[in-house]
Structure 1
């Protein structure tokens, strides 16, 4: 076991709703993660906050509007994300249509099961953003998705300690740049 939590470790695999409570509690306990973040701008940083056989908790720092995980899954892990500072854009891939995206501001979050495919990026213009991610069982690998040169969507298996970034073309984002006249992608 590494790191600390603001409560005793649960000692079992958690579901998405339980993970959402974990992510929120860790986000609110800034003393657990503030010193773990890299203090440089321009790079998306991440650090492990807690890890045992049932639970993994990470903190991510998003310092630029181009920070983007690309579409990915979490292999066999359920998860949750809570925004501690700033805002992210959370997008769901839709085949044949623009993705569905929502702005997730400070104090809000979401959870997902092991079948979920999504993309997160810093909400354009949101400023420095910090998110807390909780996974159960702990993340071992992810699958990253992107359109390759053959025009097909491919899954690229990736170890959990590799920095997520778009692998191949990601399609049209759910929002246009902030200077565009309209936003056809929703909230």
Structure 2
């Protein structure tokens, strides 16, 4: 009788052999490392076409199935307030400086159109060339190039790939959900 045809008895145990390991999801640290290394790739950064009027981008292959982008920011451009639909992420600046304003609070993701924010939730930071930032799945922020003369270039990575982006407007302490974008809106 061949080994594969050997009958199993009730007291025998079957131990499956380990198969190939499933790739693990990239962590915030993995995404930040990728963004920093990619932002340091001078030839890739130089390949991005820059437009004086609007942001430009190239889609990249991120680690572990993540979504990644190389983005050019003309002077004075920004994202407005938004979140990343439950994905965690990171970004690193390759050239210039990005300014990030964020909220130090976990907001509900469903069931509201307008929220009044408590005091002391605002955070602000500058992310200069060579620097980066990672964030969790409930991060709400706006990012912009405040320069009046120079483009900024950055690398962004998200996992899981962005299922949606919620766009907000803000007036003082009031944050209002304006609309939801789906991947087909930006790809």
> Structure 2 length as normaliser, TM-score?
0.70
Corresponding residue number in structure 1 for 2:132: 109
| Superposed displacement of residue 53, structure 1 | 7.0
**Greater length-normalized contact order (CA 8 Å, ≥ 6 residues apart):** 2
Contact 1:80/1:111, CA 8 A, preserved across alignment: yes
Q: State how 1:1-187 maps to structure 2 within 5 Å.
A: 11-35=23-47, 37-50=48-61, 54-65=65-76, 67-93=77-103, 95-97=117-119, 99-125=122-148, 127-147=150-170, 153-160=176-183, 162=185
Where in structure 1 are there 5+ consecutive unaligned residues? 1-9, 164-187
User: What is the Cα-based RMSD across aligned positions, in Å?
Assistant: 2.6
> Which runs of 4 or more aligned residues in structure 1 lie more than 3 Å from their structure 2 counterparts after TM superposition?
96-99, 160-163
| CA 1:31–1:144: 2 relative to 1, 3 Å | same
Between the aligned partners of 2:27 and 2:103, the Cα distance in structure 1 is 23
Flag the structure with larger Rg: 2
> Structure 1 length as normaliser, TM-score?
0.70
Aligned length: 150
Where in structure 2 are there 5+ consecutive unaligned residues? 1-21, 105-116
| CA 1:64–1:161: 2 relative to 1, 3 Å | farther
Corresponding residue number in structure 2 for 1:168: none
Between the aligned partners of 1:74 and 1:100, the Cα distance in structure 2 is 18
